[in-house]
Structure 1
Amino acid sequence: MWTPPPPKGLDADGCLAREGSLARVQTRFRPVVAAARDRLPEVFGARLHSAYLYGSIPRGTARVGRSDLDLLVALREEPGDADRADARALGQALDGEFPEIDGVGTLLYSRARLLSELETHDLGWFVACLSTRLVGEDLARLLPRYRPDSLLARETNGDLALLLPRWRERIAGTEDSDVARRPLVRFMSRHLVRTGFTLVMPRWGGWTSDLAEMAAIFGAYYPTRAERMRAAAALGHEPTGDRAVLRAYVDDLGPWLAEEYARVHGVKAPRPD
């Protein structure tokens, strides 16, 4: 049986270290990052509290023409329809101007929600450990330090059972073509791999955002599911539009993972709709 590597992603005190930084942004992606930094205050004005990068670009692992630009925006008030429309327009403009990226995804939340007790071990952790400050005051200074424990596992990915019915609806409502299904395969593959990894994260004792590493570490603890998780990690990078893959996710791997997650860590605290 394969033995997982020693835990990594921790600071000297055994807490999760922030994984990205502006210094890691590759040269080809610096112009689009600079454009986002300059335009976010113009778009949101006084409503903007702070903005962050996350994903492969601040980790320094982005692929030219393949990776998207991932942004998280903290507003001073709860975001509304106008804010979401502004975020979409900004993303479309950046995507059209910079061929180095393949799309822009923007998460919008209020400062109050990001700092709320309910979100401390989900969105708060996401800001503090997986996001890199781009504009404004860094909310990470107001958040606790995190360890790779069962509480963090439960509150980050302990809601898979709730998501699976929505995934089935999305599959049923998607156009019957490989091209239309490919984004779903990519999204669900990544989500399942990350959920599988956080299932075993407390036992391993560290953090990684690399899909292949996540799948491999999961497989060390669940060898009978290792091959399927490795396949999901590969599809997270190079998705196909195979309907059978999606069906296997929502009929087999997903339900098993949701049940095992609840058994080991419990179920995520309910959130408002």
Structure 2
Amino acid sequence: MAETVLSRGLDPQGYIAREGSLARVPHDFRPVAAAARDRILELFGARLHSAYLYGSIPRGTARVGRSDLDLLVALYEEPTETDRADGRVLDEALDREFPQIDGGGTLMVSRARVLSDLETYDLGWFVACLCTPLLGEDLAEHLPRYRPDSLLARETNGDLALALPRWRERIVSADDSDEARRPLVRFMSRRLVRTAFTLVMPRWNGWTSDLHEMAEAFGGYYPQRAQQLRTAAVLGYEPTGDADVLRTYVDDLGPWLADEYARVHGIKAPRPD
């Protein structure tokens, strides 16, 4: 059967299509995915509900030696601090053993949280649309289908204003070196580009995870900020350690984006944590 042709990441009914699959994992990364699957099962055993890949590896766009390994593990019960520590040990072990990845991270969640009403349009959407099943029952079977609407925009990225004070603290506490600042530039660049994209997502009527495509979509509606977003998209893939970039993010682009987001879509529902 021929593969369905997607329009801007949407299926023929206008819902966001799941963006990755195990079939798209590049050949060089398949041993990494297999090792992650086996070790997650060894670590969590009967407590494991399901596990997923997300990011560039299941999308088929990963670059050898440059891309990280992104995992999500859903347990039957709420993860403990020991579980989270085990996840970090797993990340470090895989990073040491497989030179084709450049770091990684494992998100730890509970089945109940993914399926909760509060998380339906945030974590639930993330699992259903951006995560590729690796182990266990797919939680997407219990979740709705999603359109690129204002509700989804608000609940995924409507909390940037809360993040900015924490970003400022991280910048102040970071070592005064390019090496220390580079991960911050990468992280903040990606978050700002994704937030800017979801600001215009309902008008653009589609979904993409490509930072450059996100920046171009945003620029069509906010030309006065378009170049800032194009630059941030580049830095999301190839970060520098420029302190001026970080200052611009928390003193100019970030506050403007948070205010505009609240005006257009409102504020994300508060989370207990």
Equivalent pair of 1:19/1:130 in contact (CA under 8 Å): yes
User: Match of 2:97?
Assistant: 97
What is the CA-CA distance between 1:124 and the residue it aligns to? 0.0
Question: What is the distance in 2 between the residues matched to 1:67 and 1:78?
Answer: 29
For the aligned residue pairs, the C-alpha RMSD in angstroms reads 0.8
Question: What is the distance in 2 between the residues matched to 1:91 and 1:178?
Answer: 24
User: Match of 1:3?
Assistant: none
User: Match of 2:3?
Assistant: none
**3-state SS in 2 of match to 1:221:** coil
Structure 2 counterpart of 1:181, which letter?
Answer: R
Map residues 258-269 of structure 1 onto 2, 5 A cutoff: 258-269=258-269
1:161 aligns with 2:166: no
Question: What is the distance in 1 between the residues matched to 2:169 and 2:48?
Answer: 34
What is the CA-CA distance between 1:111 and the residue it aligns to? 0.4
Map residues 17-56 of structure 1 onto 2, 5 A cutoff: 17-56=17-56
What is the CA-CA distance between 1:39 and the residue it aligns to? 1.0
| Structure 1 residues 57-78: Cα deviation after superposition (integer angstroms, max 9, x where no partner) | 0000001000000000101111
- Structure 2 alignment gaps of length 5 or more: 1-5
Equivalent pair of 1:200/1:218 in contact (CA under 8 Å): yes
Question: What is the distance in 1 between the residues matched to 2:253 and 2:92?
Answer: 34
Question: What is the distance in 2 between the residues matched to 1:180 and 1:137?
Answer: 39
Question: What is the distance in 2 between the residues matched to 1:57 and 1:191?
Answer: 19
| Structure 1 residues 31-69: Cα deviation after superposition (integer angstroms, max 9, x where no partner) | 000101111110111111100000000000001000000
Question: What is the distance in 2 between the residues matched to 1:161 and 1:92?
Answer: 32
User: Match of 1:10?
Assistant: 10
Equivalent pair of 1:7/1:207 in contact (CA under 8 Å): no
| Structure 1 residues 160-214: Cα deviation after superposition (integer angstroms, max 9, x where no partner) | 0000000000000100000000000000000000000000000000000000000
Question: What is the distance in 1 between the residues matched to 2:240 and 2:93?
Answer: 27
Question: What is the distance in 2 between the residues matched to 1:106 and 1:40?
Answer: 10
Equivalent pair of 1:91/1:106 in contact (CA under 8 Å): yes
1:226 aligns with 2:220: no
- Structure 1 alignment gaps of length 5 or more: 1-5
Question: What is the distance in 2 between the residues matched to 1:203 and 1:102?
Answer: 35
TM-score calculated relative to the size of structure 1: 0.97
What is the CA-CA distance between 1:255 and the residue it aligns to? 0.2
Map residues 1-273 of structure 1 onto 2, 5 A cutoff: 8-273=8-273
Question: What is the distance in 1 between the residues matched to 2:43 and 2:140?
Answer: 23
List 4+ stretches of structure 1 deviating above 6 A.
Answer: none
Structure 2 counterpart of 1:108, which letter?
Answer: M
Structure 1 counterpart of 2:10, which letter?
Answer: L
Question: What is the distance in 2 between the residues matched to 1:55 and 1:252?
Answer: 28
Structure 2 counterpart of 1:63, which letter?
Answer: R
Structure 2 counterpart of 1:176, which letter?
Answer: D
TM-score calculated relative to the size of structure 2: 0.97
Equivalent pair of 1:7/1:204 in contact (CA under 8 Å): no
Question: What is the distance in 1 between the residues matched to 2:77 and 2:185?
Answer: 34
What is the CA-CA distance between 1:7 and the residue it aligns to? 5.3
